[in-house]
Copies of this chain bind each other. A is one copy, B any other.
Amino acid sequence: MARKATSGSSGGGGTGPGTARAGATAPGTTAPGATAAVPERLLAEATRLFAERGYDRTSVQEIVEAAGVTKGALYHYFGSKDDLLHEIYGRVLRLQTERLDAIAARPVPVTERIAEAAADVVVTSIQNLDDTKIFFRSIHQLGPEKQKAVRAERRRYHETFRALIEEGQRDGLLRPEPRPDLVVDYFFGSVHHLGTWYHADGPLTAEQVAAEFSDLLLHSLRPPATPGDPT
């Protein structure tokens, strides 16, 4: 058995998020810079195709053809088509979780941390727009236990974000009325739908969208200005 990407592979192990992210060529690969290692190539093409025509509408045959290998090779590295999807999810989730954790830990006012976190998730969602598209369209096509794993990771992300909002409300920097969990669902609904309308060649850069979204979020939470306290 080769290193099949099994379920519990989150957390740095697995089919080489390390290699995949670092861009380092796996041992046994040909010239660096030429063709990437097979698993990475498979993941990249799968991501592109899933985003383009959906998980169910993309056949394994199309993926391997795009990656220039045979089906046997795919199944040498990934246990199933499901695994491929799961691995794609894992990559984005890990990336965004790491970044959010870093931002949440910064020694700056909580409103600033929220603004930064909001802007950051928009930017990374746009930078990985294919993954974003796939995520919210295809989660239901994952096997039940893998789906649970992904949802659990997602929930952890949301909870971290919610904690920031709660902190802001406790400190009186944000309006106390909105329910934090609803705010999170409200904001991330917007983020997750970036994939349905954002285009790289449109009029807006990722950063512009990020700034606007972040601004809209904070304005909706901002306490009413009190006399002598011009925001």
Contact B190 A185 (CB under 8 A): yes
CB distance from A54 to the nearest CB of B (A): 5
Those of A103-143 within 8 Å (CB) of chain B: 136-137, 140-141
Can you tell how many copies of this chain the complex includes? 4
Choose among B56, B136, B213, B220 the residue that contacts A216 (Cβ–Cβ < 8 A): B220
| A227-B224 in contact given A179-B212, A186-B216, A219-B219 (Cβ < 8 Å) | no
Instruction: Kindly state the separation between the CA atoms of A22 and B133 in the bound complex, as whole angstroms.
Output: 36
Interface size on A, residues (CB 8 A): 45
**A206 on interface, CB distance cutoff 8 Å:** no
Residues of A participating in the B interface, judged by any CB pair closer than 8 Å? 1, 53-54, 56-57, 61, 65, 136-137, 140-141, 175, 177-179, 182-183, 185-194, 196-197, 204, 209, 212-213, 215-217, 219-222, 224-225, 227, 230-231
